[in-house]
Chain A
Amino acid sequence: MFNNGDNKRHKVIAISPNGPTGNGDEVEARFLAPHFESDGFPWLQIFGYVGSLLLTIAALLAVVDHILPAFGLLVVILVLAVGQAALQLGIFMHLRESRGSTWHIVTLGLGIVIAIGLVGMSMWIMTFKSGVS
């Protein structure tokens, strides 16, 4: 599938010509190996859609019926939201697909860690509003 024009451009490869050197590139070579999803009937997409609908309805019903005390409820709906995000990422966004190595998973993972830290820590820092004043 490679067109010949490709070699005028830059070859994208970061793996040592003599195999991994043991200096960290074995991570790139094995752990971050490319992967593509196969096509059949779009069962996966339908599963993702139905799954996300069910999770939404579950969260909605949980809140409307107040099945738990406030804090527990908050935890439950946040967990359901994380489940939905995982469905979107895994099924619709083809998270594991890449050419070469899957660096975007590392980037996104770091982004998620920092995003959670940002929100959580900011709330923690800002709680002095009720404590002190």
Chain B
Amino acid sequence: MSSLLALLFPPSTTRNMELSADVLIILASAAIIFYLTRWHRWKYLWREWLTTVDHKKIGIMYLIAAVTMLFRGGTDALLLRAQLAVPNNHLLGPLHYDEIFTTHGTIMIFFMAMPLIFAMFNIAIPLMIGSRDVAFPRLNAISFWLFAFAAFLFNISFVIGGSPNAGWTAYPPLTELAFNPGVGQNYYLMALVVTGLGTTATGINFLVTILRMRAPGMTLMRMPMFAWTTLVTSVLILFAFPPLTVAMVLTLFDRLFGTAFFTIGRGGMPMMYVNLFWLFGHPEVYILVLPSFGIFSEVVATFSRKKLFGYSTMVYSVLAITFLSYGTWVHHFFTMGAGAAVNVFFGLSTILIAIPTGIKIFNWIFTMWNGRIKMTVAMMWALAFIPTFVVGGATGVMLGAVPGDYQFHNSYFLIAHFHNVIIGGTVFGLMSGVYYWWPKVTGRLLNERQGKWAFWLFFLGFWLTFMPQYALGFMGMTRRMYTYSHGFGWSSLNLISTIGAFVMGAGFVVMVYNFVWSQIHGEIDVTGDPWNGRTLEWSTPSPAPEYNFARIPVVTDRDAWWAMKQEQKTNVVQIKPQEITDIELPKSSGIPFLMGLSFFVFSVGMVFSWWWIAGAGFLGFVVCMLVGTFDYDDHKEVPRQEIQNTESAFGRLQG
């Protein structure tokens, strides 16, 4: 019994911070359970959310999860910056500091950015391409629950068993059992494998959806730009995640079963892990940023009242980026010493990527040129992206030059660079998308004034945080440094950076306030088209009915909805009763949730090497698969009458 307690609560989880987190978690869970029981919401929760296969609801769940994880990852970031604010600080212990930067990176990439991207996919893509759902609705729900349970698994490591502490890249030999006893690293490995499975399924889902479920007449070259970037992101996911899964599983085998993949003694090579990890890691960078490129294209065109400049060059540069991104992974480990030829090859391919990216930047600028620009919050995020991403991209080219990289590698210059591209590219883009599509999802507009406050705080905080870090990198400060002493000249720059981080934190708080406030008091979107949009999602009511389109629109032009409005042919909105037919929709199912739960149980068993529990989880998975394969009753029919009623309630019925 005492050994079990020691396993579950090793010294690293019994510090004050963890204990207070424990108490908070227990209190929050108790409050949620009380609320659900008191107001009899359990059934509602299960029926409407936990078992849903509706892409719009899954999108909302992704959104909520991502904002929650942004809070966790952001808190980690503030702790790190607080620790580094002044020299010789001891706010966190060294091990504690290692754990926090590990969870910060992992959560931000896998459990914040990825779900936020999938939230955008789910919310926008089926509506944009004129489809009633994604290709495989149940698989879509499975993806979500795998992600959700993996995120849960990763987060409980903080309070039960101990956090992972080897950085978000988790290089061996530091992750080998000999150097990293305890279960923390197992949590990391299992969580990434499980969420990776879900992500791969999402990739397949959206690939098929976009290739095969577009509205009649929407040819590839008439697709909205966001559909294009989603398509290539799906392809990237398909080919990038298997190497990650392999890297994770092999490390897990080393730790749990004593294999010899990354232990030097028996012929293994830690460098092979690094190679596999970045085979995933570099395409991942483009998985993160390409959806944002798509969002910018939509937002910039909408709020400039112009069609996107150079549509086909945009498409070709996206395709070029996709292809090139598979040939650049070594630039993450030039200093490993793979030899001059290897480094030159990958250095060149890295710098080549700047060309298509530059083309895109010019296209956005030319789209705005002579446009009637409307300064909404969504547009401001898009505008802020351009200078920010250009700086990030330029420093990326500096890092891509091999001799330079030997100087900058693992310094704060690198830290500043990748935050510059990931925040400036991905996060700004996703924020733009959240403000842009929020009314479509919730039926209410976000308050613009609060949104502008959040934007300016976050934007200025961002520059304040990361610009000093470039300088710190040149001054020799390396990443993952727990503390530093006086006399290096780093103190004031670090303090500025910390202040900036807290300003960003304030921006986040205002943003969440904005979300909550607008949900209660926000202006109701009655038209379904608050921005005078260009693409098909704005032809539906806000929020869209379960079946999306009472009649699937026929597309004759790029920017389909804009064209319909120009030609006064908005009869997609006005529909005659006799044109309505029955619609077949996927049925809700408990299997996705239970499958996620089975994976969770399996993972807990693996983490603690409790094989019986792992076996039980695996059995649960098999049962879910069996029930799923014999379940032929996965569709329901929405009768004509019900659709007529819904449409007339929206005021969209003619006669």
Contact = CB atoms under 8 A, between A and B. Distances in A.
Nearest to B329: A121
A118 B217 CA distance: 37
A113 B74 CA distance: 39
A12 B135 CA distance: 11
B552 A14 contact: no
A14 B213 CA distance: 8
A132 interface: yes
A124 B275 CA distance: 11
Contacts of B216: 11, 13, 17
A10 interface: yes
A110 B221 contact: no
A69 interface: no
A7, A8, A18: most-surrounded residue (chain B CB, <10 A):
A8
Interface stretch (B138-146, B164-172, B353-361, B580-588): B580-588
A68 to B, nearest CB: 28
Interface string B210-221: 011110111111
B131, B239, B271, B554: most-surrounded residue (chain A CB, <10 A):
B239
A117 B327 CA distance: 8
B339 A131 contact: yes
Given A17-B216, A17-B217, A25-B221, A5 B584 contact: yes
B348 interface: no
A111 B238 contact: yes
A101 B326 CA distance: 26
A113 to B, nearest CB: 9
Given A24-B221, A128-B338, A10 B132 contact: yes
A26 to B, nearest CB: 9
B460 interface: no
A125 interface: yes
Nearest to A22: B221
Contacts of B272: 122, 126
Contact of A126 (B238, B275, B327, B583): B275
Interface in A1-31: 5, 7-18, 20-21, 23-25, 27-28
Nearest to B549: A10
Interface residues of B, number: 41
B516 interface: no
A126 B271 contact: yes
Contacts of B213: 10, 12
B584 A11 contact: no
Nearest to B214: A14
B384 interface: no
B279 A23 contact: no
Contact of A110 (B212, B239, B339, B583): B239
Given A25-B219, A25-B221, A117 B211 contact: no
Contacts of B238: 107, 111
A100 B220 CA distance: 14
B326 A114 contact: yes
B563 interface: no
A23 B221 contact: yes
Nearest to B343: A125
B222 A23 contact: yes
Interface in A74-133: 100-101, 103, 107, 110-111, 114, 117-118, 121-122, 124-129, 131-132
A9 B584 contact: yes
Interface residues of A, number: 39
Nearest to A20: B219
B330 interface: yes
B637 interface: yes
Nearest to A100: B212
B54 to A, nearest CB: 15
Contacts of A125: 275, 330, 338, 342
A117 B583 CA distance: 45
Given A8-B581, A28-B219, A131-B339, A23 B235 contact: no
B312 interface: yes
Contacts of A25: 219-221
A122 B327 CA distance: 11
B344 interface: no
A10 B214 CA distance: 9
Contacts of A5: 584
A14 B269 contact: no
Contact of A132 (B330, B337, B584): B337
Contacts of A107: 207, 235, 238
A24, A27, A100, A129: most-surrounded residue (chain B CB, <10 A):
A24
Nearest to B554: A17
A116 to B, nearest CB: 11
Interface string B130-156: 011000000000000000000000000
B275 A28 contact: no
Contacts of A117: 326-327
Interface string B229-263: 00000010011000100000000000000000000
Given A111-B238, A126-B271, A129-B269, A14 B219 contact: yes
A127 to B, nearest CB: 8
B645 interface: no
B152 to A, nearest CB: 32
Closest 10 CB pairs of A and B: A23-B221, A25-B219, A24-B221, A8-B584, A125-B338, A103-B211, A114-B239, A128-B338, A24-B220, A17-B217
27 contacts: A8-B582, A8-B583, A8-B584, A10-B131, A10-B132, A10-B552, A11-B216, A12-B213, A14-B212, A15-B219, A17-B554, A17-B556, A23-B222, A25-B219, A28-B220, A103-B211, A110-B239, A114-B326, A122-B275, A124-B342, A125-B338, A125-B342, A126-B272, A126-B275, A128-B336, A128-B337, A131-B339
Interface of B: 131-132, 207, 211-214, 216-222, 235, 238-239, 243, 269, 271-272, 275-276, 279, 312, 326-327, 330, 336-339, 342, 552, 554, 556, 581-584, 637
Given A12-B213, A101-B211, A132-B337, 11 more contacts: A8-B637, A10-B552, A23-B219, A23-B221, A25-B220, A27-B220, A117-B327, A118-B243, A125-B338, A126-B275, A128-B338
Interface of A: 5, 7-18, 20-21, 23-25, 27-28, 100-101, 103, 107, 110-111, 114, 117-118, 121-122, 124-129, 131-132
